[in-house]
Structure 1
């Protein structure tokens, strides 16, 4: 048994995940009722990642800030610009695609017990309130804006602390990173369970009636992942960006696709940044920040579903309104993590731009929940993998300017 486990561990993680994925599909198609108990493994895997991520981010950021020396440069400004640019361009892609391939919806689906935000001001207000959230509450509720703000403040306050105190914080963050590595080793089992649960409970047939909408949503996300992001990356690193793009999608996007949680994927992204030999002072802040404001997938979802409602209702949209929608979807997407329900519940906000009533907008949200099995998976995979991609691009651009060799 020991030799078997050792041989299994020698296989690369991605190959093990693919094996788990295939087994999950087979079990869901052949013996869904008998294999139902394996669902617990998926819940345990995602639950473990979600539970360790907040405190891992807290200690990593606090450690990085407290150890940071005056005059030592980071790439945070460049990364934030890349995050915002990528999110805006994703919104533009979604708007253009929606005009080229208009989709109409069969409205009538209902959504209960959900309350959309009243406007952009309310979304931004929520984000600002999250900044000053109680630190214990922020950790408990996985409020990453609050976690980041407190970690940065404590890190700054600890800059003049004795070295022994700083060493203790580093040791705790290293221990948490080790726990994450142990959890990630169970990814094949967890993803097998998640795939099984999705196919066994949702099925594929329920999504066929929304095929055109799904093709448009997923098509936009693929275009951003394989065309827009590589172009942005090439401008920075001035060499073939696809090896880096594929590595981010393979090592980060796959797990994010199945866990459908940017928070759960933060430890995975941290590990990938470490493998890419990026600056820990930078990625320990940029990765959790990206999980909050780098939302290209959310911008696409908001724009596509809003314009689907517009086309369904026969509302005429000019170029100016389309540009405003792109900006609004980008701003709204950046606030998606601060809203319960994520990007889907920000659709009424965008619909209000075209005078669409809240009742109709919430029916569009209902359609979003139906296709959410695939939409949310693809959205999370794009969002999370791009966090690492843009962090790496900013770092490699700096290396290129300094004459260092880029390792991709």
Structure 2
């Protein structure tokens, strides 16, 4: 009996699913072997993080330098979609927390050594300092805000360069893109190692004590992925959004779920945008920006954990305060780092709105790290897949929701 076509010539997504299942089986059969297989996942994520900064700098500069005069880049509507999506996610989290209130068992561990921001001013100050960062330091530390600033500046300056110079820059961008596609082909092995190591080392037993909190968090993220974001895209495009939504979740969300880093998923998203036929001058800028400020999942995490602490302490919350919390969560989420657990350090910022002390807020952060085995993965999957979704929705080009296969 012949094998089905998807097994004879499996797509990259099929290979990733096979790696996921294989990693799960290995961790269950031999936790020690599963932990050892984690090296494959570490190498994969490290390779993505290594190539992403150079890719962003070169691709942004090349896209702007070779931008055709009079052509529409479509960046402004995409930025608006990012902000609307993040604020909507915060409102959804507020409503869900009111409908399904959760409480926490607060017990401060002895080994917490985290430094939350003092206020919105510090978050904005940090963002400003990232913009003016040294380009070499930005490359070394993965500062994508700084890389964007330098990429935009170089691109604008090189628009007046000779055709040969701009052609060399474009060829360099294509070479880096080729390397990225090579790294992405390793995704099945990387996912295999990440799943095996996570299940072998962490397990899911620790999550049972926080099942209700996780249900609210994941429920909000699922609602945004399947209802909130599609509605926003429909209002923008007036077309059925679900083929594109499912494509983004499948092609971008799966890898983001396991890498747990919006920054590491930038190469994956850039490749998906290319396969969707989007204008390079649009996605070369919008995807790195989205990895920094398009943080619907982070807004949900900040809001739900803050209101869980509020409910635990018996603090009354009125509607104006809830709306203010949504605004703070939106601004804080935009300043969240694109690395695992980046949104959790913004929880004390939101807790300060209700007069909750830093010590109590850091207890909530500690609980966030416990549930982060699942929460942070789902958060990153929502954030990163939405980058492509909103880029496609706001792009001036017409999008086919079926991407070309990776060559």
TM range (shorter): over 0.9
**Shift, 1:31, TM fit:** 1.2
SS of aligned partner of 1:152: helix
2:248 and 2:211 map into 1 onto residues whose CA distance is: 27
Which position in structure 1 is the counterpart of 2:229?
229
Q: How does 1:244-393 map to 2 (within 5 A)?
A: 244-337=244-337, 341-393=341-393
**Shift, 1:37, TM fit:** 2.4
**Shift, 1:36, TM fit:** 3.4
**Shift, 1:172, TM fit:** 1.1
Which position in structure 2 is the counterpart of 1:143?
143
1:115 and 1:99 map into 2 onto residues whose CA distance is: 29
1:231-286 Cα offsets, whole Å, 9 max, x none, are 01111221211010000000000000000011111010011101110010000000
1:339 and 1:121 map into 2 onto residues whose CA distance is: 21
SS of aligned partner of 2:33: coil
- For structure 1, which segment, 166-175 or 105-114, has the greater mean C-alpha deviation from structure 2 after superposition? 105-114
Q: How does 1:63-212 map to 2 (within 5 A)?
A: 63-110=62-109, 112-212=112-212
> Structure 1: 5+ residue runs without aligned partners?
1-6, 400-404
1:317-337 Cα offsets, whole Å, 9 max, x none, are 000000000000000000012
2:9 pairs with 1:10 = yes
Alignment check: 8 A CA contact 1:270 1:283 kept: yes
Alignment check: 8 A CA contact 1:66 1:159 kept: yes
2:345 and 2:32 map into 1 onto residues whose CA distance is: 34
1:304 and 1:268 map into 2 onto residues whose CA distance is: 29
SS of aligned partner of 2:145: helix
1:345 and 1:307 map into 2 onto residues whose CA distance is: 15
Which position in structure 2 is the counterpart of 1:214?
214
Alignment check: 8 A CA contact 1:123 1:338 kept: no
1:148-177 Cα offsets, whole Å, 9 max, x none, are 000100111111111111111111111111
2:64 and 2:291 map into 1 onto residues whose CA distance is: 19
1:299-327 Cα offsets, whole Å, 9 max, x none, are 00000000000000000000000000000
- For structure 1, which segment, 159-168 or 370-379, has the greater mean C-alpha deviation from structure 2 after superposition? 159-168
1:39 and 1:123 map into 2 onto residues whose CA distance is: 34
**Shift, 1:70, TM fit:** 2.5
Alignment check: 8 A CA contact 2:103 2:308 kept: yes
Which position in structure 1 is the counterpart of 2:23?
24
Q: TM-score, normalised by structure 1?
A: 0.94
1:340 and 1:180 map into 2 onto residues whose CA distance is: 21
Alignment check: 8 A CA contact 1:339 1:345 kept: no
SS of aligned partner of 2:263: helix
2:406 pairs with 1:407 = no
1:388 and 1:153 map into 2 onto residues whose CA distance is: 24
**Shift, 1:34, TM fit:** 3.5
**Shift, 1:295, TM fit:** 0.3
Which position in structure 2 is the counterpart of 1:59?
58
**Shift, 1:8, TM fit:** 8.1
**Shift, 1:340, TM fit:** 9.4
Alignment check: 8 A CA contact 1:260 1:380 kept: yes
Q: TM-score, normalised by structure 2?
A: 0.95
**Shift, 1:23, TM fit:** 0.4
1:137 and 1:291 map into 2 onto residues whose CA distance is: 19
Alignment check: 8 A CA contact 2:392 2:399 kept: no
Q: CA RMSD in A?
A: 1.5
**Shift, 1:109, TM fit:** 3.7
1:101 and 1:70 map into 2 onto residues whose CA distance is: 52
2:367 and 2:33 map into 1 onto residues whose CA distance is: 31
1:293 and 1:35 map into 2 onto residues whose CA distance is: 35
Alignment check: 8 A CA contact 1:91 1:330 kept: yes
1:126-165 Cα offsets, whole Å, 9 max, x none, are 0001000000000110000000000100111111111111
**Shift, 1:9, TM fit:** 9.2
Alignment check: 8 A CA contact 1:221 1:378 kept: yes
